[in-house]
């Protein structure tokens, strides 16, 4: 009985997660431009996806920003976390708290305040303003992920490293980074996804010369989403599955 409840509960949860995605993938093969009924199987939308230069440009823009911002945020975030963990300095608790404030503060607040900042700096909106904003909102997520892993580790290891004559930099490079590897990867992936699908902050800070995928998709909602976008989302989902699979493999090897 208990077992039945458990498995049906899990099934319910997972179908809630994955059913919409499966439906989206099925509809990417539907032979109709706007109808939501089944009109037969076609690969037409995948072919059109391959030919659509405008969509390709927008998608590349999005990937460019996500990879760059995730990488920068991971670098800065990891350093921040290490700093907060290893050293004691004035205002440390405040800094730690402020990080959480950024995580829970609504996107709209962040978007508007960044817009005002760029406006005051007379900075032209576009690629750079978008990149800086994305790095900014990704950093706290990385630091929190890394910090939680750090606090779970044995502090004596770092002291041992220092006892044995490693400099701060050396112990960071040789001891801390290798042990944090899974958390750093997780932080990178988290930032990458957050940056890739952000609509609200991007709406405010992007400029005319840099359209990104989420904003493009959003602007199509009223006109009717093309099945081409279903095809694109399916492709992206498959790629994500692939990346997550690789990460799992790498991490498992590390743990073993």
* Interface contacts to other proteins, rule CB under 8 A: 32-37, 52-54, 112, 115, 119, 124-128, 203-204, 207-211, 215-216, 218-225
The distance of closest approach from Cβ of residue 115 to other proteins in the complex, given in angstroms and rounded to an integer, is: 6
Comparing CB distances to other proteins, the nearer of 28 and 145 is 28
Beta carbon nearer to other proteins, 124 or 148: 124
| Calpha distance 233→246 (Å, rounded) | 20
Local structure of 21: helix, strand or coil: helix
Q: What's the closest the beta carbon of residue 169 comes to other proteins, in angstroms? A: 12
Residue with tokens 């290891």: 157
User: How far apart (Å, rounded) are the C-alpha atoms in residues 13 and 19?
Assistant: 10
Name the minimum Å distance from CB 65 to other proteins: 14
Nearer to other proteins, 59 or 145 (CB): 59
C-alpha dihedral (100, 101, 107, 112), degrees to nearest 10: -140
To other proteins, the closest distance from the beta carbon of 52 in angstroms equals 8
By beta-carbon proximity to other proteins, the closer residue of 34 and 90 is 34
The least CB distance from residue 255 to other proteins, in Å, is 33
Of 128 and 247, nearer to other proteins (C-beta) is: 128
Nearer Cβ to other proteins, position 37 or 256?
37
DSSP string covering 57-100 = HHHHHHHHHHHHHHHHHHHHHHHHHHHHHH---TTHHHHHHHHH
207's tokens = 């400029």
CB atoms within 10 A of CB 49: 21
- Minimum distance between the CB of residue 208 and other proteins, rounded to whole angstroms? 3
Q: How far apart are CA 148 and CA 222, in angstroms?
A: 42
Asked whether 114 and 204 are in contact (CB, 8 A), the reply is yes
């Amino acid at each position: 009985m208990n077992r039945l409840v458990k498995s049906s509960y899990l099934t319910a949860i997972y179908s809630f997660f994955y059913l919409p995605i499966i439906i989206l993938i099925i509809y990417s093969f539907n032979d109709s431009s706007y109808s939501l009924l089944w009109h037969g199987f076609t690969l037409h939308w995948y072919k059109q996806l391959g030919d659509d230069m405008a969509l390709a440009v927008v998608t590349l823009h999005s990937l460019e920003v996500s990879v760059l911002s995730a990488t920068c945020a991971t670098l800065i975030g990891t350093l921040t976390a290490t700093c907060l963990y290893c050293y004691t300095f004035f205002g440390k608790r405040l800094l730690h708290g402020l990080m959480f404030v950024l995580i829970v503060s609504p996107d709209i607040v962040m978007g508007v305040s960044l817009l005002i900042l760029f406006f005051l700096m007379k900075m032209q909106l576009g690629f750079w303003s978008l990149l800086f904003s994305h790095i900014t909102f990704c950093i706290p997520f990385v630091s929190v992920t890394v910090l939680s892993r750090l606090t779970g580790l044995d502090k004596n290891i770092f002291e041992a490293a220092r006892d044995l004559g490693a400099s701060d930099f050396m112990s960071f490079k040789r001891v801390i980074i290798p042990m944090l590897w899974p958390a750093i990867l997780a932080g990178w992936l988290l930032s990458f996804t957050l940056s890739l699908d952000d609509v609200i902050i991007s709406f405010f800070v992007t400029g005319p010369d840099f359209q990104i995928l989420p904003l493009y998709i959003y602007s199509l909602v009223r006109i009717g989403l093309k099945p081409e976008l279903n095809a694109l989302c399916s492709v992206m989902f498959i790629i994500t599955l692939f990346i997550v699979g690789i990460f799992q493999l790498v991490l498992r090897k590390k743990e073993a």
